[in-house]
Chains A and B, each alone.
Chain A
Amino acid sequence: MLEVNIEACTGCKVCERVCPFGAIVVVPETKKAKVLDNCTLCGACVSACNFDALSIERKAVSEEELAKFNKVFVWGEWERKDGKIVIKNVALELLGKGRELADKLGESLAILLLGKEVEHLAPSLIHHGADIVYLCEHELLEEYSTDGYATVISSVIASEKPSVVLYGATPNGRDLAPRIAARLALGLTADCTGLDINENRQLLQTRPAFGGNIMASILSPYTRPQMSSVRPNVFPKPDSDENKTGEIERVNVNLKPYSIRTKIIEEIISHDEGINIEEAQILVSVGRGIGSKENFKDVENLAKELDGTVSGSRALVDLGWLPHPQQVGQSGKTVAPTLYIAFGISGAIQHLVGMSSSDTIVAVNNDADAPIFKVADFGIVGNMHEIIPEFIKLLKEHKQRN
C-alpha cells in the first residue's frame, strides 16, 4: 500500500506530475495527496516527494540469506540445422552478457545444456565463456517439452542455488521460463534489453513496456535466483577463446514418459530453412506499402543483389504474403542486422522494437511523417516502386564498373 503522511504532505503536486499512471492526485479542498485505485505501487512518487510524505512498505530479507546463492546460469537452447544439433546464437549472446555479470559479482558462469545427445556442444560453450556446463542428457529430452525441461532445470536450480538465471526469449524460452518461475515462486523479467549489477549486488533488469514507449528497470530484491529473459540479437555474441577451460558436470536426470503431458504430433517447416532473418547481415524488409504480392519480385531481386534476406512487417504476414518466421517486430522476431532497409514500412512502434538496434537503418516511404524516419540513418521520401528498379539498375552498373 502507498501511504500518504498527511502531516508531511504540503500539496505541492510533484507526485501528481511524476505519476506515470495518474493514480495520485492532490485534492483541491484538502490540499493533500490522495492515492487512487489504479496505483501500481511503482514508487515514482516516493522518490520524487521532497517532504518524505509518501512511503511504500516493503518486506526485508537478510543479506546472509541472499549470499547463499551464487553462480550465473544461462539456458543453453539449441536447434536443428540440416539435421545437426547446433547451439542457438541467443545462448551464446547470453554467455557474453552472463560472463560480464559473473565477473562483476565475482561468481562463476554456468550453462544448462539439456538434450538427448548434446555433449558435443560443450567445448564451444566453454570457449564462449562458460566455466561450467551442466550436462543433462536423457531420452525424453530429445525434443523440447514444457514439462520435461521445466522439471530438469527447476531441480538443478534448487540444488545449485544460482543467483541469476538467463533465458533466451525465444518461443520455447518464453514457454519455459515462467513455468520455472511459478514453480519456484521467483521473479522473472521478460525481454530485457539491459542487464547490470547495481551497488547492492542486485541484478538491474531494464525492459521496454507499452510497446517500447516507456522503459522500466526492475529488481527482484528478496528472491534468488533473479531470472530474466532476453530477446535474440539484443546483446552481442562473444568471441570464442579456444584456450579457455571449464568443467563439464553431468547431471543425473530422472524423467518418466508420463511426466511429459504434451506430445508433438507434427512438425511443419513453413519456409526455406536457409532463411534466418535473425542471423542475416543485410535485411531488405517490406511493409504494407508494397501494395501487391506481385511487387515482391523487385524486392527479392534487390535482396539478391545486396546479398541480403527478405523480411517484412506483420501486415504482410497477416495477408499471407510472407511466412511468419520472416516477420520482424513485437509479434515476430527481433533482428539486429548491420544493414536494415525498410521499404513501405511506416514504422509502428511494434515494428520498431523489433529492428531499432540494427547498425544502420535505411527507410524508403512515401509518407514524410512516417515514424520509421525517426529511427532511420538515411531516409528517402518517395515511391518505393519507382526507386527500387532504378536502384537495382545503378547497383548492377556499379558492380560491373568495379
Chain B
Amino acid sequence: MKIVILVKQVPEADKVAVDPETGTLIREGVDSILNPYCEYALDQAAKLKQEYPELNIEITAITMGPPQAKAVLYRCLELGADKGYLLSDRKFAGSDVWATSTALKEGVAHIEPDFDLILAGKQAIDGDTAQVPAETAEQLGIPQITYGVDVKLNGKRVEVKRETETGYQILSTRMPALVTMSKGSNIRRIPSMKQVLDSRSKPIETLSADDMNIDENKIGLQASPTQVDKIFAPPAKIGGEIVDGSDPKVAAQKLLNYLVENNYIKR
C-alpha cells in the first residue's frame, strides 16, 4: 500500500512579528519547522504502517518549497517516511492556493501515480488557509475527509474520525482518498539516533517543474487567481487598565465594580 504525505515547511508562527514602523516581518530568531498539522499526518502515516504490517505500507513525503525545505523531509524520513521529494523551482514562486495545489497534484501524479491514501495537515500555520489539501484532492479527482483525528483502514475503504462543531463523526470513503489531520498525539515525537542515522541513507529527490513536465502556464504567479495586494501590521490594540491582584479581596471588588459600571452586572 502506498501512502503519500503532503508536508510544508513553515516559520514558527508565534515568533513572527511585523515591525510597526517598516511593515516588514521580523525574522530574527524565527526557525523553520515542519508544520505541526503536517506532523500529525506524518504521525498518522507511521502509525498505520505499524498497525497494518501485512499491507507493506510505503510512505512518500512530498513538499514544495525553496531548497532549504529539504529539512522537513529529513524530519519525515526520521519519523517513518521511506522517501522524500522536494518540488522546488523558481517557476513555482507566487503560487496561491490554486497554483500550489496544481503543482502538488502534478507532483503526486508524477511521483506516486498509484497511491492509495494521501495524508496532509488540515492547514499550515503560516497561511492558515486550510484550502490546499482539498483543492489538491479535487484536482486529483479523489474524495476527501477533512479535520481527521484518527484514521483506520478497512479493506479498500478508509474510516476517519472527524471533528465537527458539536463533536465528532465517523466517515468512510473508498480509496484512493485524501484525509487532512487536525489533531494527533499531544506530544511531538523525538527520533532516535538510529532513526536520524538511517534517514540519511533514504532517498531524497529534488524535482523542478520541467522534471515533472508541468505546463508553465499552470503554476506560479501567472496561474494564481488571487494576488496579494498588500501586507501590513494589524492595528495594535491598546490594553486597558491593569490592576494589582495581590490582595484577592480588593481585586475581586475592583472587578465587580468594573463589570457593574459597564452594565455586565445589574446595579
In the complex, A touching B (Cβ < 8 A): yes
**Chain A residues in the interface with B (C-beta under 8 A):** 1, 17-22, 37-44, 47, 56, 58-59, 79, 146-147, 150, 170-171, 174-175, 177-179, 181-183, 185-191, 204, 208-223, 261-271, 273, 282, 306, 318, 323-325, 330-331, 333, 338-339, 348-350, 356, 360, 362, 364, 366, 368, 373-383, 386-387, 389-391, 393-395, 398, 402
Interface residues in B2-38 (C-beta closer than 8 Å to A): 11, 13-14, 16-18, 22-25, 27
**List of 9 A-B pairs having minimum Cβ-Cβ separation, nearest first:** A382-B245, A187-B225, A270-B167, A41-B94, A182-B138, A187-B226, A386-B248, A390-B252, A182-B135
State whether A387 touches B251 (Cβ < 8 A).
yes
State whether B166 touches A270 (Cβ < 8 A).
yes
Which residues of chain A have C-beta atoms less than 8 A from B129's C-beta? 188-191
Q: Is B254 an interface residue (CB 8 A)?
A: yes
A218 to B232, CA, bound (A): 12
**Main SS class of interface, A:** mixed
**Chain B residues in the interface with A (C-beta under 8 A):** 11, 13-14, 16-18, 22-25, 27, 66-67, 90, 93-94, 96-98, 101, 125-139, 143-147, 159, 162-174, 177, 182, 186, 221-222, 224-234, 237, 239-246, 248-249, 251-256, 258-260, 262, 264-267
Given A213-B18, A217-B229, A379 contacting B240 (CB threshold 8 A): yes
State whether A394 touches B227 (Cβ < 8 A).
no
Which residues of chain B have C-beta atoms less than 8 A from A268's C-beta? 167-170
- Interface Cβ pair total, 8 Å cutoff: 310
Q: Which of A273, A323, A394 contacts B256 (CB 8 A)?
A: A394
- List 15 A-B residue pairs with CB atoms under 8 Å apart, sorted by A's residue number: A22-B27, A39-B94, A41-B221, A44-B23, A44-B231, A171-B162, A171-B164, A178-B135, A182-B138, A218-B227, A263-B171, A379-B241, A381-B243, A395-B256, A398-B260
State whether A181 touches B135 (Cβ < 8 A).
yes
State whether A269 touches B166 (Cβ < 8 A).
yes
**Main SS class of interface, B:** mixed
A42 to B224, CA, bound (A): 12
A17 to B19, CA, bound (A): 11
- Looking at B101, B234, B243, B249, the one whose CB has the most chain A CB atoms below 10 A away is B234
Given A188-B131, A323-B167, A378-B241, A214 contacting B229 (CB threshold 8 A): no
Which residues of chain A have C-beta atoms less than 8 A from B67's C-beta? 37
Which residues of chain B have C-beta atoms less than 8 A from A362's C-beta? 255, 258-259
Which residues of chain B have C-beta atoms less than 8 A from A318's C-beta? 186
State whether B101 touches A263 (Cβ < 8 A).
no
State whether A171 touches B147 (Cβ < 8 A).
yes
Given A18-B22, A265-B171, A187 contacting B135 (CB threshold 8 A): no
State whether B256 touches A391 (Cβ < 8 A).
yes
- Nearest-CB distance from A399 to chain B (Å)? 8
Q: Which of A181, A213, A269 contacts B13 (CB 8 A)?
A: A213
Which residues of chain A have C-beta atoms less than 8 A from B136's C-beta? 182
A43 to B231, CA, bound (A): 9
State whether A262 touches B173 (Cβ < 8 A).
yes
State whether A189 touches B143 (Cβ < 8 A).
no
State whether A220 touches B24 (Cβ < 8 A).
no
State whether B135 touches A378 (Cβ < 8 A).
no
Which residues of chain A have C-beta atoms less than 8 A from B66's C-beta? 37-38
Which residues of chain A have C-beta atoms less than 8 A from B145's C-beta? 262
- Nearest-CB distance from B107 to chain A (Å)? 15
Closest to A183 in B: B138
A298 to B54, CA, bound (A): 51
Which residues of chain B have C-beta atoms less than 8 A from A191's C-beta? 128-129
Which residues of chain B have C-beta atoms less than 8 A from A187's C-beta? 96-98, 224-226
Given A37-B90, A187-B226, A219-B226, A214 contacting B233 (CB threshold 8 A): yes
State whether A338 touches B264 (Cβ < 8 A).
yes
Which residues of chain A have C-beta atoms less than 8 A from B97's C-beta? 178, 181, 187-188
- Looking at A210, A271, A378, the one whose CB has the most chain B CB atoms below 10 A away is A210
A20 to B252, CA, bound (A): 44
Given A17-B22, A262-B172, A222 contacting B225 (CB threshold 8 A): yes
Closest to B88 in A: A37
Q: Which of A38, A171, A181, A391 contacts B255 (CB 8 A)?
A: A391
State whether A387 touches B14 (Cβ < 8 A).
no
A347 to B163, CA, bound (A): 24
Closest to B253 in A: A394
State whether A265 touches B23 (Cβ < 8 A).
no
A48 to B227, CA, bound (A): 17
